[in-house]
Amino acid sequence: MLEIKNLHARIAEDGTEIIRGLDLTVKAGEVAAIMGPNGSGKSTLSYILSGREDYEVTEGDILYNGESILELDPSERAAKGIFLAFQYPVEIPGVATMQFLKVAMNEQRKYRGEDELTTPEFMRRVKEAAAELKIAPEMLRRPLNVGFSGGEKKRAEILQMALLEPKLCVLDETDSGLDIDALKVVADGVNALRSPDRAVVVITHYQRLLDYIVPDTVHVLYKGQIVKSGDKTLAHELEAKGYADIIEAAA
Amino acid sequence: MPAVQETIDQVRQIDVDQYKYGFETTIEMDKAPKGLSEDIIRLISEKKNEPEWMLEWRLEAYRRWLTMDEPSWARVRYPKIDFNEIHYYAAPKGTTGPKSLDEVDPELLKVYEKLGIPLKEQEILAGVEKTKIAVDAVFDSVSVVTTFKEELKKAGVIFMSISEAMREHPDLVRKYLGTVVPQSDNFYATLNSAVFTDGSFVYVPKGVRCPMELSTYFRINERNTGQFERTLIIADEGAYVSYLEGCTAPQRDENQLHAAVVELIALDDAEIKYSTVQNWYPGDKHGKGGIYNFVTKRGDCRGKNSKISWTQVETGSAITWKYPSCILRGDGSRGEFYSIAVSNGHQQVDSGTKMIHLGKNTSSRIISKGIAAGVSDNTYRGQVSAHRKAENARNFTQCDSLLIGDKCGAHTVPYIEAKNSTAQFEHEATTSKISEDQLFYCLQRGIPEEQAIALIVNGFVKEVIQELPMEFAVEAQKLIGISLEGSVG
Ligand SMILES: Nc1ncnc2c1ncn2[C@@H]1O[C@H](COP(=O)(O)OP(=O)(O)OP(=O)(O)O)[C@@H](O)[C@H]1O
Ligand SMILES: [Mg+2]
């Protein structure tokens, strides 16, 4: 589903290279975890996948379902099924969460040549998904992410993911800021979306999340490269020993 | 790029201005020769069958105007206007005033139909879920029709064109006209006093809550014609009325002048809510053409505990010079000003309000949202003052500007003056840009850039949109989206 080949990317403004020859393949149905020390380029990778203009790809390619997506706008990539749950969700003042959801869902449908959802159908879907994630209907009337607690913001991200039904889900530290119960709710939400035609990339620092969302593969990102890959046991190893050994071996 | 998007883009390139009201209608017109003189004023007065005192009033204003200079303090630039190159009177042939609906030229009805303004009462009634709105349609210099007059009459509400009111209710007109915006008020208001051609008149009697929304729809159609309308609204003791105003004009290369005067009078315990969606032609993307909009709007809270509320959505005009104000004369009276001013392309907006606190325990609230895109300039200019006797005057002002791109400008010019030490005035101002983070977040959810900007901007102006009557709110939101199309990339 996702093939990243020898990707090099830099900050457009000052030319600093952040991603330095990164290779990664994620198959449909797979859950891949990406771990790595602070500042190693995990969030940057997620932005580049979703097409943020602040970064420039200088070498390599990103294939999504066998086709390069480098020329696509962020909104086109999204409509094609790439979803990013942000590490720091952004506040949109004055725009009710409900309204935002409706616009996003319908714009994606429009792009794919589908009819707009009727209001009752939209309401039904939102209510159902919100209930699953234990999100109070009251919250849906508030402006998106404005004044939401850290945990509420993360839950709202997963709600959007559930409703937009993407094919490639990238979760950037969705576990940070969640209490234990919320972590369970969010993980259940993600697990419910696992399916043979959907891939999930989980960026995290902690084994705790991976206890709930059990990954098929684990990759260590360091200085803009994947320096080690393995199965779920790699995450346990990192939890016990930290990154020192791997970094040393890679250097 | 998908085929659909490609088509949209192609259409866009052809129609750069996207001003969907830019069509012109060919209707036989009765026009005064270009230029301004006492004879022209006599001609206007005669065409309108006015009483003698009205003509005298106009001539007095004209003589005054000849001694005045165009104001230059606003932050707008435009070539000198040649006031002798304008037609001061233009009316569809055979219309001296409003008629009943079946007498109105079907071509004219079509214009309003095309604009989405319901003039046929039956049709309005047929749409069950729609709320009733009475409309006064002004085409260039004359009112062509006023709907629901009979029904309003039953409630005692007078709603008709001001020319008609002058003939049918001369005492009321004479008593109130020019008492809020005097003939000598300012250059444009004085010009208007001399040459105003039509506009609406509303009188809501004591204790009456007007049973439906009233609205006037202004359309400038003729070339080189100025529109000088005059609106006068009086809410007698304990009365309530909500009034809407809409405006459009065809797309033209030359600039056209619009200099209106609106006077509102609220007596004891009365309330007037005045909403405007101004969508005059803004000019093309090179700044050619567009309406010069120099408007004087003022409300007088004459009675105790009266209330006047202005809500405006300004998206059109090449130049906007407009400061709907409130004189808080009655004790306990309240003034409100809610404004959204959008400027794109080469538009220049200098707009705001004045809240003049004269009575005791008066309060006012100002919420202004300015959005500047393209190479436009957007200025908020506001004055809040408390006079010596205005015990406990209260004002809250919030003035937010949003910039799209880096070639536009937003400016805030507040004047605050309290001559009574018990006054409490609060002023908050912010200027922001649509952040890259917000935009990227929306894009990542599959919302294309223009829709994303419209969404963020509509969030930014929500507090004001909420003040608009339902039907207008939806329209206004769409209009803001359209006005900002092409504002990025
Ligand atoms: N737009 C930018 N401008 C300047 N520096 C940037 C920018 N984007 C990323 N960086 C830098 O690139 C490096 C990688 O950042 P990134 O946010 O991808 O790290 P991360 O692996 O997600 O870290 P964390 O675990 O703390 O979330 C950091 O040093 C960061 O400061
Ligand atoms: Mg990060």
Give the residue from chain B lying closest to A78, CA to CA: B446
Confidence check: pLDDT of A201 > 90: yes
Residue A35's domain comprises 2-250
Structure tokens at A53: 């203009």
Structural domain boundaries of chain B? 5-484
Among A47-56, B44-53, B109-118, the minimum mean pLDDT is found in: B109-118
Q: Under 8 Å CB-to-CB from B82, ≥6 apart: which residues?
A: none
Distance CA(B423)–CA(B395), nearest Å, equals 8
Which residue type, as a one-letter code, is found at position B154?
Answer: K
pLDDT of residue B77: 85
Distance from CA of A203 to the nearest CA of B (A): 18
Point out the ligand nearest to the CA of residue A40. Answer: 1
Burial of A109-126, coded b for 16+ CB within 10 Å and e otherwise, reads ebbeeeeebeeeebeebb
Question: Rounded mean pLDDT of chain B?
Answer: 82
pLDDT, tens digit (0-9, with 9 covering 90-100), for A39-51: 999 999 999 999 9
> Averaged over B206-225, what is the pLDDT?
79
Ligand 2 centroid – CA A214 distance (Å): 20
User: How many alpha carbons lie under 13 Å from residue B293 in its C-beta half-sphere?
Assistant: 29
pLDDT of residue B123: 45
Q: Do A74 and B455 touch (CB under 8 A)?
A: no
CATH number at residue A211: 3.40.50.300
Give the residue from chain B lying closest to A142, CA to CA: B459
pLDDT of residue A244: 86
Pocket lining: A52 vs ligand 1, CB cutoff 6 Å: no
DSSP B287: S
pLDDT, tens digit (0-9, with 9 covering 90-100), for A126-183: 999 999 899 999 999 999 999 999 889 999 999 999 999 999 999 999 998 888 888 9
pTM above 0.90, yes or no: no
Of the partner residues B440, B447, B460, the one whose CB lies closest to the CB of residue A107: B447
Question: Contacts from B53-56 at CB under 8 Å and sequence distance 24+?
Answer: B53/B174, B54/B166
Structure tokens at B87: 């037609």
Q: Do B446 and A54 touch (CB under 8 A)?
A: no
Structure tokens at A34: 């990406």
Confidence check: pLDDT of A72 > 90: yes
Please give, one letter per residue, the 3-state secondary structure of B69-89: CCCCCCCCCCCCCCHHHCECC
pLDDT, tens digit (0-9, with 9 covering 90-100), for B316-332: 888 888 999 999 999 99
What domain count does chain A have? 1
Q: Under 8 Å CB-to-CB from A203, ≥6 apart: which residues?
A: A33, A34, A35, A42, A43, A46, A87, A170, A171, A172, A173
Please state, in angstroms and as integers, the Cα–Cα distance from residue B75 to each residue in A141, B322, B354, B385, B433, following that order.
40, 12, 17, 22, 21
Q: Which residue's entry shows tokens 């779920």?
A: A232
Q: Are B140 and B157 in contact (CB under 8 A)?
A: no
DSSP string, B223-281: TTB-B-BEEEEEE-TT-EEEEEEEEE----SSEEEE--EEEEEE-TT-EEEEEEEE---
Q: Under 8 Å CB-to-CB from A247, ≥6 apart: which residues?
A: A37, A222, A227
Please indicate whether residue B425 or residue B71 has the higher confidence score (pLDDT): B425
Q: Do A79 and B440 touch (CB under 8 A)?
A: no
Confidence check: pLDDT of B253 > 80: no
Q: Are A70 and A238 in contact (CB under 8 A)?
A: no
Q: Is A30 in a helix, a strand, or coil?
A: coil
CB contacts under 8 A, B 360-389 vs A, are none
